[in-house]
């Protein structure tokens, strides 16, 4: 299994356009600090890839990842489809950016599809441009992507996006982690950019790429970005998960870093804390092979 880390930032990216916090200001001075929205590309065989979440900067992500660039024939693309972990705007606005596609397969839980079709009416918006083909990903069940990779959804939160809070729905699976399994080698990766609770199914994973939005529980309150704590915003803080991750046998990396997270500064002492427990911070552009 070959995974391409396309981005590692939380909503707004780094820097965020309307923010001058230390993280965003530092990213404007030091281009190496910059991070694109959290996303992952998974090679599924036959030269094809699925992207996990379609972020607002997906076009830039594709251009910067050789495995996703089109060619050699005009309009021939290795992008086979998109798998969604939730219906948040930061993870779905890129679907509109992909409107030039002749057709696009979207894999999502019933709750996520309902939010996008009944809440945003995305299918109607894109109908004049391209054809969306939906594949259902029921929580707990597996689905084969291409011939080599199987994906299963693990529920990690019931948090709805703001635009869908009033949507009448009995659907489940608002936020899921994805368990990706290579059917040939047996390699397993768990990808959970948003994690409101500790999911099951982590013990047997060779690689875990998980929610690193906030360093500690009070960070949103302390920095003034929210009146809620990290957990109340649907994100377990790093201080609550790093030691649990360290006990697992697989390689563990954090992604989805908010601009307020001290880890966006490469020289922050918090990196040493993670080094001591053996947990990493994912970087834009890195390739992981299992």
How high is the pLDDT of residue 140? Answer: 67
Residue ranges of the chain whose pLDDT lies below 70: 139-141
Instruction: Tell me, yes or no, if the pTM score tops 0.75.
Output: yes
How high is the pLDDT of residue 71? Answer: 85
**pLDDT per residue as tens digits for the range 124-156:** 999 999 999 999 997 666 899 988 999 999 999
How high is the pLDDT of residue 203? Answer: 83
Q: Where are the beta strands (DSSP E) in the chain?
A: 2-7, 39-45, 48-52, 79-83, 104-108, 132-136, 142-145, 149-157, 175-182, 188-192, 207-211, 251-255, 280-281, 287-289
Give the integer Cα–Cα distance in Å for 157 and 174.
7
Give the integer Cα–Cα distance in Å for 151 and 174.
16
How high is the pLDDT of residue 54? Answer: 98
Question: 138-173 as b/e, with b when 16 or more CB fall inside 10 Å?
Answer: ebeeeeebbebbbbbbbbbbebbbeebeeeeeeeeb
């Amino acid at each position: 299994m070959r995974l391409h880390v396309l981005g590692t930032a939380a909503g707004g990216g780094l820097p965020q356009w309307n923010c001058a916090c230390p993280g965003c200001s530092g990213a404007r001075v030091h281009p190496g600090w910059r991070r694109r929205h959290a996303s992952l590309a998974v090679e599924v065989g036959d030269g094809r890839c699925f992207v996990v979440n379609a972020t607002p900067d997906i076009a830039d992500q594709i251009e910067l990842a050789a495995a996703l660039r089109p060619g050699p024939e005009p309009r021939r693309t290795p992008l086979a489809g998109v798998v969604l972990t939730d219906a948040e705007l930061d993870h779905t606005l890129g679907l509109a950016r992909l409107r030039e596609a002749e057709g696009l397969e979207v894999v999502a839980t019933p709750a996520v599809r309902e939010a996008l079709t009944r809440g945003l009416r995305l299918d109607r918006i894109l109908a004049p441009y391209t054809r969306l083909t939906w594949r259902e990903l029921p929580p707990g069940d597996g689905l084969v992507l291409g011939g080599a990779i199987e994906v299963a959804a693990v529920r990690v939160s019931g948090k709805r996006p703001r635009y869908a809070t009033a949507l009448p729905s009995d659907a489940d699976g608002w936020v899921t982690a994805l368990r990706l399994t290579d059917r040939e080698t047996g390699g397993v990766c768990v990808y959970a950019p948003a994690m409101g609770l500790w999911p099951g199914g982590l013990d047997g994973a060779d690689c875990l790429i998980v929610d690193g939005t906030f360093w500690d529980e009070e960070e949103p309150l302390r920095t003034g970005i929210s009146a809620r704590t990290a957990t109340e915003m649907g994100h377990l803080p790093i201080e609550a998960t790093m030691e649990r991750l360290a006990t697992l046998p697989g390689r563990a990396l954090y992604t989805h870093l908010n601009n307020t997270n001290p880890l966006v500064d490469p020289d922050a002492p918090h990196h040493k804390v993670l080094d001591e427990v053996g947990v990493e911070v994912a970087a834009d552009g890195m390739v992981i092979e299992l």
